[in-house]
Amino acid sequence: MERRDFFKVAGTGSASLLLTGGLAAQPQIKPTDKKIKPIAGSWFEFQHLLPYEGRYWDPALAKFTALQWKEKVKEIGELGFEYLILQEIALNGQAMYPSKLAPQYKIGCDDPLEAVLSAADESGIKFFVSNDFWDDCQKGEFLMKDPGIRKLRAKAMEEVAEKYGHHKSFYGWYFPNESYLMPYFDEVFIEYMNECARVAKSLMPASVNLIAPYNIKAEKSDDVFVRQLEKMNIEIIAYQDGIGVNSTKLGEPSRYFENLAKAHQKASRARIWADMELFYFEEKTKGNLLPADFDTRILKQMEELSPFVDKILCYQYIGCMNKPGSKAYAGHENQESVRLYNQYKNWLETSYKE
């Protein structure tokens, strides 16, 4: 199963909302720059959206105390990550934080959102905070279009901004109902995204907001796509490279990202980042996610993506990387996540140069 491919929507021809806010900075990428960029950040979750993919770490996360959540954020910051992208503030309609709008999802920490943002304040990490999932996460079109969900989502964003907006680590928002290229964005998604951006900017005018579309192999970075970028009120688009879900193979993403980077330059709109997949499926195309090998795969992904993006994010540290001896361990008992941590840390210390 494609990662997050349940967020597919049907074309409706809906008109996009009017844009608010100023243009995002034009990307400053240099396609001739061969230097490999380090991993700048990761997706982050309290529980995995699809339980059958996260069986090796969900039970541990469900028992994390506030101290362990803080330890996990500190651990990630120590590895040089600058950004974390929170996957969900709700799951199947239950809030992951104390909310007046919905019952709370029961895990070991009463307010994990407060814990991770407090830790991020101390570590200098910037969080993109999610604004969903207020119903079944696999009902993507419903979540984008349903009037009741749209109203609840806006109220939840207001509640989250009021409760947690004082944190300096609250950098912006992540709109997690993802679109895909076929070869263009669906207009339903553009309308949804611009509506989320309008609410985000009304609550936090300086917020930097992010989306992460998939299916880059279908990209057609022509004038139609450029016009779509021009009307999307979003600061950062981090395209999924598709390696982990076997949508693309090593050697392929670079040409897609090169085309997308040229379109972003032409549109002078959103910055282009990468959402690089660290995992592979235990059962080839389905099942639990396991960490890939850094030397034989992930380093090659980084090398391919680096010339065409401002930053490389990864999906994801949680479950796929753990510091040796971590007090907040979440991953397979075979310690492959520790191996990946050590491999990446060794590359940073011995091969990467500022």
Is 69 a member of any domain?
yes
Report if residue 132 sits inside a domain.
yes
- The predicted pLDDT at position 34 comes to 62
Q: Check residue 268 and give its pLDDT.
A: 94
Residue 185: per-residue pLDDT: 97
Question: Would you state the pLDDT for residue 81?
Answer: 98
Q: Are the C-beta atoms of residues 72 and 30 closer than 8 Å to each other?
A: no
Q: Give the contacts of 92 (CB within 8 A, at least 6 positions apart).
A: 133, 135, 136, 137
Residue 158's pLDDT is 98
Kindly state whether residue 16 falls inside one of the protein's structural domains.
no
Other beta carbons within 10 Å of 239: 26
Domain CATH number, residue 122: 3.20.20.80
Residue 124 has a pLDDT of 98
194 lies in some domain: yes
Are the C-beta atoms of residues 54 and 47 closer than 8 Å to each other?
yes
In-domain check, residue 24: no
Please check whether residue 250 lies inside any domain of the structure. Answer: yes
pTM value? 0.91
Is-contact 44 86, C-beta < 8 A?
Answer: yes
| Number of compact structural domains in the chain | 1
Give me the pLDDT at residue 31, please.
Answer: 45
Within a domain: residue 144?
A: yes
Q: Is residue 19 part of a domain?
A: no
Task: Give CA 229 to chain center in angstroms.
Answer: 19
Contact predicate 210/236, CB 8 Å: yes
User: What six digits make up the tokens of 310?
Assistant: 């401002």
- The domain containing residue 46 runs over which residues? 5-9+33-350
Asked, as a colleague might, if the bond just before 316 is cis with ω within 30 of 0, I would say yes
Contact predicate 124/79, CB 8 Å: no
Spell out, as residue ranges, where the chain has pLDDT lower than 50. Answer: 1-2, 4-32
